[in-house]
Amino acid sequence: MLKLLNENLERWALLGFYVMLVLTMAVEVVRREVFAYSSIWGEEIVRYSFIYLAWIGAASAVRERAHIRIDVLLHYLGPRAKALIYMLGDIVMFAVALVALYWSFETVLVSWKYGSVTDGLRISKVWFLMAVPIGFTLMIIRLIQSFAHDLHALRTGEPVFEGNQLFD
């Protein structure tokens, strides 16, 4: 069960938020065009679903090594050098993610302290602001996993996982 969750956590979350976004947007388009009426809650659900999609998708991209990078020079390096470069990238990204996680929790705590709510849904903004710390927490977990895999590849001399290529 834990292995399945590790492999598919982001995919299922992304699917859920994407379906919620598309269905809500479709309902709102029909309501606006057919019934000449729209709701404020629909726009908010779409906006916050998109925010969760972006942050969870960023964590998924870390797992798949799908972030944009310039890797022309990496093609000329051996497996050990590639592993070292990827490990350096993971360490830098880890440091940035820790700082961002700290500051994103600061925003959540301020919202919690003052009890801010969304305009249409009248739900605490904490639930929606948590998208950023959740995304960075998932990124940190995936970066630790990536670093461990790269360290194993460095020790054994195996090729490092470089992610899936867009144009293979």
Most trustworthy range by pLDDT among 7-11, 38-42, 69-73, 122-126: 122-126
Predicted local distance difference test score (pLDDT) of residue 127 = 93
**Which pLDDT belongs to residue 57?**
92
pLDDT, mean of residues 49-74: 87
Q: Do residues 89 and 167 touch, judged by C-beta distance below 8 A? A: no
Q: Where are the alpha helices (DSSP H) in the chain?
A: 2-35, 40-64, 79-114, 126-129, 131-156
pLDDT at site 88 = 92
Secondary structure letter of residue 76 according to DSSP? G
pLDDT, tens digit, 9 for 90 and up, residues 48-60: 999 999 999 999 8
**Which tens digit of pLDDT belongs to each residue from 99-142?**
999 999 999 999 999 999 988 888 999 999 999 999 999 999 99
* Average confidence (pLDDT) over 136-164: 89
Report pTM.
Answer: 0.85
Mean pLDDT of the chain: 89
Neighbours of 6 (CB within 10 A): 13
Q: Where are the domains of the chain?
A: 2-156
Which burial class, exposed, middle or buried, applies to 49 when counting CB atoms under 10 A from its CB (0-12, 13-18, 19+)? buried
Q: Which residues pair with 124 in a beta bridge?
A: 117
**How far apart are alpha carbons 78 and 157 in whole angstroms?**
9
Q: Quick one: DSSP state of residue 74?
A: G
Q: Band of the pLDDT at 33, cuts 50, 70, 90?
A: very high
Q: What is the pLDDT of residue 41?
A: 87
Band (pLDDT 50/70/90 cuts) for residue 167 is low
Average pLDDT of the residues in 70-93: 86
Residue 2 or residue 93, greater confidence = 93
